[in-house]
């Protein structure tokens, strides 16, 4: 799977928007961009995913650069519950039928300040 690069940590004030960047300069045309997050003492939790177009769901928005070499996860109003490690993961359709390995990196640890 192609690699992603994320900042080790970020801080945000509660109630403010948060933009979590991810670089994936070697992304291929068949790679989907997935975001998961892991709250303390819990398993990873799916946040959002996309291919080319920007995506919105109840949790967040995903903005994908036109060249797809970077993307940004947007939390519109950070809450204390959003404090977690956020992982940007590329999932290749070329991995082979039946394989769904998610390659977790170090992620970005988001701290939310009350």
Query: Rounded to the nearest whole angstrom, what is the least distance from the CB of residue 14 to another protein in the complex?
Result: 25
| Residue closer to another protein, measured from CB, 12 or 22 | 22
* Site stretch for another protein (CB under 8 A), options 2-10, 11-19, 44-52, 73-81: 44-52
- For 22, 69, 91, 111, 113, the CA distances from 25, given in Å and listed in that order, are 10, 4, 14, 26, 31
For residues 58 to 97, the per-residue mask of contacts with another protein, x marking binding by CB under 8 A and - elsewhere, is: ---------------------------------x-x--x-
Distance CA 43, CA 26 (A): 28
Which residues, numbered 18-37, are part of the site for another protein (CB under 8 A)?
A: 32, 34, 36
Sheet holding 18-23, edge to edge: 18-23, 70-75, 61-64, 55-56
- For 2, 73, 111, the CA distances from 105, given in Å and listed in that order, are 11, 16, 18
Does 42 engage in binding with another protein (CB under 8 A)?
yes
- Residues of this chain that interact with another protein (CB under 8 A) are 32, 34, 36, 41-46, 49, 91, 93, 96, 98-106
């Amino acid at each position: 799977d192609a690699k992603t690069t994320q900042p080790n940590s970020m801080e945000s004030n509660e109630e403010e928007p948060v933009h979590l960047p991810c670089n994936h300069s070697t992304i291929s045309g068949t790679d989907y961009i997935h975001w998961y997050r892991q709250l303390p003492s819990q398993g990873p939790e799916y946040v959002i995913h996309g291919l080319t177009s920007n995506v919105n769901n109840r949790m967040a928005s995903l903005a994908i650069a036109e060249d797809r070499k970077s993307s940004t996860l947007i939390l519109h109003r950070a809450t204390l519950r959003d404090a977690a490690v956020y992982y940007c993961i590329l999932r290749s359709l070329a991995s082979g039928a039946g394989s769904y390995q998610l390659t977790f990196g170090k992620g970005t640890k988001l701290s939310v300040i009350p």
